[in-house]
Structure 1
Amino acid sequence: MSTGQRIVLFDLFGVIALRQRPGALAEMAAWCHAPADVFTEAYWALRPPYDAARQSAPQYWTAVLRRLSRPVDTGTIEKLRLADIDSWSRVDDRMVAYAQSLRRRAQVAVLSNIPADHADAFSAAQPWLHNLDHVALSGKINVAKPEPTAFHHCVTAMHATPADFLFIDDREENVRAAQAIGMTGHVFTGLDELVKVVNIWLPTSMTSPTLSQH
């Protein structure tokens, strides 16, 4: 059952924000004197507790360095931490403009997997986030997608029901998880297709926003 609200819930990275900067993991691997593929495997395999705030940045990077059998020291950890944050700092300006423009027709929110220290840096650098109706970042809400609790956090915070939401993510497993609790879901492949999906999902009596050409 819907409350009659219309809430467009966006993922960040791979949708509004860009994916990790190409070459960033290879650069970090070189600092650790580790093969890029081995570093990449450790980076992602150990990531979930960090995303969900069950580990701090130093704990995460200590685990990565130990997995690689590399020395653990505070200088290396901080260098890796800052490089990691920088590698996830870019946004798609056209998607930012579109998400903001949708607030004329619906509530707009974000649900993203991002560690707490990344969340602080990203939020400080992207003031448009503070104009949205709700922002749920995994490192701040202590749960990460595709856990159902992450989606239920948004439902509760926005005094809504799952049927009120259109969830947009570039990862199919996250979209399936949203659909499993009753949200409408869309796997993001590009803005043009998304505009069509949103225009079908939102009430037809509302006027479509003008897309930014930037």
Structure 2
Amino acid sequence: MNTPIRAVILDLGNVLAFHDNALLFRRLGARAGLDAEEAGRRLSGAGWTAANRGLLGPEGIRRDVCGALGVDLPMEEFNALWNCHFTIHEAVLPRVEGLEGRVKRILLSNTNVLHAAWLKPRLPVLERFDHLVLSCEVGHVKPEPAIYEEALRHAGCEPHQAAFFDDLPEYVAAANTLGMRGHLFTTANAFDGQLRALGLE
């Protein structure tokens, strides 16, 4: 018989909120007079990772992104553009709400301070999570073992007692390597089936 699940550890992007990076690159690129492909090329790499590790604060992110794109946007305009690609995944929220009081709920996300600040008030369910493990606050990023271990520490359980859901296979594989029960998140309906299989229907 499977060990009961004591914690559900959830990714943020494309689980609780969709993020359309193609839209982000189109909008930022248009403002800078660049096509989306060029904007995406300029924004990939070290700066993005530095922001996710918490090495860049709000103004640092603005300067880094604007510098890469060759444009200087005031913070208010920049922040609106920087968060334009998010849509709350309304269908999954009742499933996540239904776990309250049954298991610990931990958020585990690679994100930066501006994205986190924009999403938190739009996802009030996060206020009732047991803990939020955000890469920009802990200095580690998935798939590094340290960030999963941080989530497990706050979950207060052994790896095999934690179910982890993420939309990226490499992050799920990293969780499985540590002994967690990793699942690839695809849709709210599929999530229902995964929870049933874990005894959390």
Alignment TM-score, normalising by the size of structure 2? 0.87
Change (3 A) 1:21 1:42: closer
SS at match of 1:15: coil
Does the 8 Å contact 1:116/1:138 carry over to 2? Answer: no
- The answer as to whether partners of 1:109 and 1:135 remain within 8 angstroms in 2 is yes
CA distance in 2, matches of 1:187, 1:6: 19
- In the alignment, what sits opposite 1:83? 81
Amino acid at match of 1:157: H
Aligned to 2:163: 166
Aligned position for 1:37: 37
CA contact (8 A) 2:17 2:89 kept: yes
| Gap runs ≥5 in structure 2 | none
Cα offset for 1:199? 1.4
Between the aligned partners of 1:67 and 1:80, the Cα distance in structure 2 is 13
Displacement after TM superposition at 1:35 (Å): 2.3
Within 5 Å, which residues of 2 pair with 1:7-86?
A: 7-20=7-20, 23-45=23-45, 46-68=47-69, 70-71=70-71, 73=72, 75=74, 78-86=76-84
What residue number does 1:136 align with?
Answer: 133
Runs ≥4 residues deviating over 4 A: 2-5
**What CA RMSD, in Å, does the superposition of the two structures yield over aligned residues?**
2.4
**Cα distance in 1 for residues equivalent to 2:56 and 2:12:** 21
C-alpha distance in 2 between matches for 1:54 and 1:172: 26
Q: Note if contact 2:148-2:175 (Cα within 8 Å) is conserved in structure 1.
A: yes
Q: Percent identity?
A: 22
More deviation, 3-12/44-53: 3-12
- Give the structure-1-normalised TM-score: 0.82
Partner of residue 102 from structure 2, selected from 93, 105, 113: 105
Question: Would you say the 8 A contact 1:100–1:132 is kept in 2?
Answer: no
**Structure 1 gaps, min length 5:** 209-214
Q: Say if 1:7 and 1:109, in contact at 8 Å, map to a contact too.
A: yes
| Residue from 179, 182, 204 that aligns with 2:179 | 182
Aligned residues: 199
1:99 Cα shift? 0.7
